[in-house]
């Protein structure tokens, strides 16, 4: 079955500016002094480009066809039973490592508030305000807005115990504060009509839980003011900085306090960008792009508004490269290249979001892809983008402001056939015959790292053939000392060899060397020997991935100091593999069939079914994955292994 192939081959190399690590330096605070920022800061929420709550004509125009969807979603939460988060549910993280027992009821409440907020903005009749007020006060009554897992890592006691005397600015906490700041901005007058107690209480909670600790403390690791050898800056930094800045933009009336807070948020953002890959890739994987590179775009957009257009870095080449990374990871409407902690499947690509961010940063590539996706859907599908627990109201309203542009954009910008991120050593390529390959070098000390140096992912006609299992439900093990006891983080469950009986190790020093690409030959190669421990006794192991017209060629050329165990080469697949005959394994998935060939004189094959008990992994891969292991028949100190995956549809 041949499906529409979404990556259009045009025979060119996509080239980012040739920046090296360390060349991205203070692009925010280097563009404006604190005094200059203070002179141009827009006060009293005059920056807000959206209608007043009472302007129903303007809201109907802004929301358009999405209005009924917002109302319908909100109606599902009328008379909602607000859930109590038990103390024992917080403590479960300490006792069993289960964080979801606390998160599920809490996040259900967050979603309810978010949907009710959107529905009332859409309808404007006051019908949703009683429930919205209930939800707002429910959140205000909580001791903390932080998750149990985040309390352990960010509180002074390192306990999962909520403590109202130690407010912390953390990931989910900052998102809830940002959402409630919009509730206060739009509905404090409506709450006052019921009783002046409610808006006053909400404003006080936001001051104590968000505004004050953000400015009073510099010791939160994500801020980047103090070195933390145990953590590298990641999506936390820009996500918390954006939410903190947005809260100040919506709540603070004093111009000096507002400009000081915005400048501090800019400093935090610079700390992240200064140490991020200079090529614009998201080393945490595309699953974190919305919270990392995508949030950088949101930050720049909000800063542009907050300064009346005086501080506008949206068209900075680096910001553009951060934005465009996501589109190169998308394969069709439901799959993506999912290195690091990312899921391979998503319900629908966020095409309106892609268009809006493309318009902001001046990327015809993103605008074209976003508009094409919207045309395929037949509407501007906002529904796939809504998840109040993580979606910024600001981001959603900015998409709505662009909806007419999306509908009338008719420019087609072909996607490149070869994309190389030099700092991150990520490579994306397509042969124009339905085959898409992503391969990576880099190191095993990345944020949200999997031990996967030299691994690759293959799609044929938008169907996963060679896969990365991706990320499962987060538990205490996910970010602790036991992270690599999780099978899906280990190299032996990626498309990689086990050498002399050893898997790859985690840490920045376990890295690829001599990484090379050839855009004309559609080739990626790297020596992955250094990703393995000394006991593997490997001097060099050059892994090569090359796309040809009808096949993928995988080659391992190696030299060991000693051969003590039989080498094994692993391939992880979604489709059920079957040995066809000696040297051939058929892989069938979702109507596509590929053929893996190997030298039967060199290898003995085995196939392992991996039942997926994890809720997320099971949903993505429909209950199971398969691992093909090709075990070498001989112990060799040197040699060359050759494998091919043929596209049988050609």
Q: Hey, how many other C-beta atoms are within 10 angstroms of the C-beta on 142?
A: 17
Q: Which residues contact 353 (CB under 8 A, 6 or more apart)?
A: 290, 294, 370, 385, 395, 399
16-20, 118-122, 591-595, 626-630: least confident range: 16-20
Residue 466 pLDDT greater than 60, yes or no: yes
Do β-strands 330-331 and 592-597 pair in parallel, antiparallel, or remain unpaired?
Answer: unpaired
Options 3.40.50.261, 1.50.10.20, 2.70.98.70, 3.90.550.10; CATH for 418-647 is: 2.70.98.70
Q: What ranges do the domains of the chain cover?
A: 50-217, 418-647
Cα R_g (the chain), whole angstroms = 25
Please compute the mean of the pLDDT values over residues 559-582 and round it to a whole number.
96
pLDDT tens figures, 196-215: 999 999 999 999 999 999 99
Among residues 386, 384, 319, which one has the least CA distance to residue 347? 384
Instruction: Give 542's pLDDT tier (boundaries 50, 70, 90).
Output: very high
Number of alpha carbons in the 13 Å side-chain half-sphere of residue 571: 28
Confidence of residue 474 (pLDDT cuts 50, 70, 90): confident
Question: pTM score > 0.85 for this model?
Answer: yes
Burial of 56 (0-12, 13-18, 19+ CB in 10 A): middle
**In this structure, are residues 29 and 263 in contact, taking their beta carbons and an 8 Å threshold?**
yes
Q: Where are the alpha helices (DSSP H) in 207-292?
A: 212-216, 235-251, 255-275
Average pLDDT, the chain: 92
The three-class DSSP label of residue 324 is helix
The answer to whether the Cα torsion of 589, 590, 591, 592 is positive or negative is negative
Backbone angles phi, psi at 484, to 5 degrees: -90, 10
Residues 106, 57 contacting (CB under 8 angstroms): no
**Exposed / middle / buried, residue 38 (Cβ in 10 Å: 0-12, 13-18, 19+):** middle
Asked whether residue 16 carries a pLDDT value surpassing 60, the answer given is: no
Phi then psi for residue 462, to 5 deg, are: 65, 20
Cα–Cα distance between 395 and 401 in angstroms, integer? 10
Output 588-591 pairs: Cβ under 8 A, ≥24 positions apart. 589/463, 589/464, 589/465, 590/463, 591/1, 591/463
* Cβ pair 306, 41 in contact under 8 A: yes
Flag the least confident range among 371-380, 458-467, 601-610: 371-380
Contacts of 307 (CB under 8 A, 6+ apart): 32, 37, 40, 41, 42
Residue with the bigger pLDDT between 19 and 205: it is: 205
The arithmetic mean of pLDDT across residues 132-159, rounded, is 95
List, in sequence order, the alpha helices (H) in 52-99: 56-63, 66-75, 87-95
For residue 349, the model assigns a pLDDT of 63
In degrees, rounded to 5, the angle at the alpha carbon of residue 538 between the alpha carbons of residues 484 and 448 is 25
How far CA 430 is from CA of 5, 427, 461, 527, in Å, comes to 10, 10, 11, 23
**DSSP characters over 327-387:** HHHEETTTEE---SS--SB-SS--HHHHHHHHHHHT-HHHHHHHHHHHHHHTS---GGG--
Neighbours of 605 (CB within 10 A): 18
* Phi-psi sector, 340: left (phi>0), alpha (psi -120 to 50), beta: left
Instruction: List pLDDT tens digits, range 149-187.
Output: 999 988 999 999 999 999 999 999 999 999 999 999 999
- Phi then psi for residue 539, to 5 deg, are -85, -40
């Amino acid at each position: 079955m041949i499906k529409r192939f979404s990556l259009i081959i045009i025979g060119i190399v996509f080239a980012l500016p040739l920046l090296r690590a360390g060349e991205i330096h203070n692009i925010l605070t280097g563009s404006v002094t604190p005094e200059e920022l203070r002179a141009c800061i827009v006060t009293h929420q005059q920056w807000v480009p959206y209608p007043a709550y009472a302007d129903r004509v303007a809201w109907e125009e802004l929301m358009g066809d999405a209005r009924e969807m917002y109302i319908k979603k909100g109606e599902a939460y009328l008379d909602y039973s607000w859930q109590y988060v038990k103390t024992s549910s917080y403590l479960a993280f300490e006792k069993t490592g289960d964080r979801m027992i606390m998160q599920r009821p809490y996040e259900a409440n967050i979603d309810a508030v978010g949907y009710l907020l959107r529905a009332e903005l859409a309808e404007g009749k006051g019908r949703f305000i009683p429930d919205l007020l209930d939800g707002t006060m429910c959140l205000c009554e909580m001791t903390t807005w932080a998750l149990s897992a985040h309390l352990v890592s960010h509180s002074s006691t390192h306990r999962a115990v909520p403590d109202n005397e130690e407010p912390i600015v953390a990931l989910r906490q900052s998102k809830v504060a940002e959402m409630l700041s919009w509730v206060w901005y739009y509905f404090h007058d409506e709450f006052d009509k019921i009783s002046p107690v409610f808006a006053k209480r909400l404003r006080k909670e936001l001051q104590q839980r968000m505004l004050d600790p953000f400015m009073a403390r510099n010791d939160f690791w994500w801020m980047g003011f103090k070195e933390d050898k145990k953590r590298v800056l990641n999506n936390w930094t820009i996500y918390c900085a954006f939410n903190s800045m947005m809260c100040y933009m919506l709540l603070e009336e004093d111009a000096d306090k507002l400009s000081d807070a915005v400048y501090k948020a800019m400093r935090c953002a610079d700390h992240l960008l200064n140490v991020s890959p200079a090529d614009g890739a998201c080393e945490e994987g595309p699953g974190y792009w919305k919270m990392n590179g995508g949030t950088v775009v949101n930050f720049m957009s909000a800063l542009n508004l907050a300064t009346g257009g005086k501080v506008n870095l949206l068209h900075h080449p680096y910001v553009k490269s951060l934005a465009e990374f996501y589109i190169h990871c998308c394969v069709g409407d439901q799959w993506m290249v999912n290195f690091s902690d990312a899921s391979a499947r998503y319900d629908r690509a966020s095409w309106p979001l892609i268009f809006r961010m493309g318009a902001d940063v001046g990327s015809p590539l993103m605008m074209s892809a976003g508009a094409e996706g919207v045309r395929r859907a037949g509407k501007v599908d906002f529904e796939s983008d809504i998840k109040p627990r993580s979606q910024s109201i600001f981001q959603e309203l900015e998409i709505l402001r662009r909806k007419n542009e999306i509908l009338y954009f008719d420019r087609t910008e072909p996607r490149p056939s070869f994309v190389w991120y030099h700092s991150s050593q990520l490579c994306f390529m397509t042969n124009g015959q339905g085959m898409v390959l992503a391969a990576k070098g880099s190191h095993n000390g990345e944020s949200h790292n999997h031990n996967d140096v030299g691994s690759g992912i293959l799609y044929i006609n938008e169907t996963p053939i060679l896969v990365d299992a991706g990320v499962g439900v987060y538990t205490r093990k996910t970010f602790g000392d036991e992270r690599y006891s999780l099978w899906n983080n280990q190299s032996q469950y990626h498309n990689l060899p086990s050498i002399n009986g050893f898997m790859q190790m985690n840490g920045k020093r376990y890295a690829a060397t001599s990484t090379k690409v050839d855009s004309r030959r559609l080739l990626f190669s790297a020596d992955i020997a250094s990703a393995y421990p000394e006991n593997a006794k490997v001097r060099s192991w050059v892994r090569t991935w090359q796309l040809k017209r009808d096949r993928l060629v995988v080659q391992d050329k190696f030299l060991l100091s000693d051969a003590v165990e039989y080498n094994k080469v692993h391939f992880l697949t979604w489709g059920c593999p079957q040995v066809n005959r000696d040297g051939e394994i058929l892989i069938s998935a979702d109507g596509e069939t590929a053929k893996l060939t190997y030298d039967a004189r060199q290898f003995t094959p085995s196939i392992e079914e991996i039942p997926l008990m994890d809720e997320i992994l099971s949903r993505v891969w429909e209950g199971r994955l398969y691992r093909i292991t090709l075990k070498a028949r001989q112990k060799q100190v040197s040699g060359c292994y050759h494998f091919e995956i043929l596209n049988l549809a050609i």
